[in-house]
Amino acid sequence: MNKTVLVTGASRGIGYETAKLFAKGGYNVALNYNQSKKSTEALVNELAKAGHRAMLVQADVACREQVVSMIDSVNKRFGEIDVLVNNAGMAKQALFTDISLQEWDRMFDVNVKGMFLCCQGVLPAMIRNKSGKIINISSVWGMTGASCEVLYSSTKAAVIGMTKALAKELGPSGIQVNCVAPGVIDTDMNSDLDENAFEDLKEQTPLGTIGKCIDVAEVIAFLASEKAGFITGQVISPNGGFLI
């Protein structure tokens, strides 16, 4: 029987590419979006035309009711979820002193609470089945911190802590929890960066380039595969050598 993966934030960028890769790998793929229905629907149709099994599910990952109903829809269509990719996320550059309480709470709600809710939603079945894979997307900024990204860096560091602790708790239940912490990847999330900033980042990267979504998607797919059977609680960072 085909395995089922839920990819959050699959409407664009890294999540979009990851969903495509899983579909090509024979998974049933549930693509979550929050606002970008059009692009997600287009990808689901494209995958279905190519003979893959894909569905779209709307949910704001920060809202428990919506997450519960999303997981329920996936279970009804494809059965229990074997792989959860917690990819949905937001970022914003700001001076620390300018961050409002609302901005602080919202980013933690999406980037951290969203993962907590999605994990709690899929875990009862994974624990019952004594198998499952959870892959959480952090960032190099969660490992090193970035100026003018204190809030984002804090949420992404929390993702690493959650991954490691959860891996310890769930290892005895046969569930693997890992983290992917990409370097700078060419997506909408970096659309604020101008040409000069991109050139600077390339110069600081030993491989001399910005990453592509597929570079991250391949690492996620590997961690979900049988080849990664002895890996848990790890942070894998596709970053072109930006952080060594």
Residues 181-240 that bind ligand NAP (CB under 6 A): 182, 184-185, 187-190
**3-class DSSP state for residue 235?**
strand
Task: Give whichever of 127 and 145 is closer to ligand NAP, judged by the CB atom.
Answer: 145
Residues 100-129 that bind ligand NAP (CB under 6 A): 110
For the chain, strand residue ranges (E) read 4-7, 28-33, 53-58, 83-86, 132-137, 175-180, 235-236
Q: 32 pairs with which residues across the strands?
A: 57
User: 47: Cβ–Cβ under 8 A, 6 or more apart, which residues?
Assistant: 19, 20, 23, 29, 53, 54
Binding of ligand NAP by 14 (CB under 6 A): yes
Could you tell me which of 169, 157, 207 has the C-alpha nearest to residue 185? 207
Task: Give whichever of 6 and 228 is closer to ligand NAP, judged by the CB atom.
Answer: 6
Q: Cα separation of 133 and 193, whole Å?
A: 34
Task: Give yes or no: 27 in active site.
Answer: no
Binding of ligand NAP by 91 (CB under 6 A): yes
Candidates 7-15, 123-131, 194-202, 222-230: pick the segment binding ligand NAP (CB under 6 A).
7-15
**What are the percentages of helix, strand and coil residues in the chain, rounded to 5?**
50, 15, 35
Among 4, 5, 13, 83, binds ligand NAP (CB under 6 A): 13
Task: Give whichever of 73 and 190 is closer to ligand NAP, judged by the CB atom.
Answer: 190
Candidates 47-55, 126-134, 177-185, 217-225: pick the segment binding ligand NAP (CB under 6 A).
177-185
> How far apart, in Å, do the first and last CA atoms of the chain sit?
40
Give me the residues that bind ligand NAP (CB under 6 A), please. 8-9, 11-15, 32-36, 60-62, 87-91, 110, 137, 139, 182, 184-185, 187-190
> Which residues participate in catalysis according to the annotation?
152
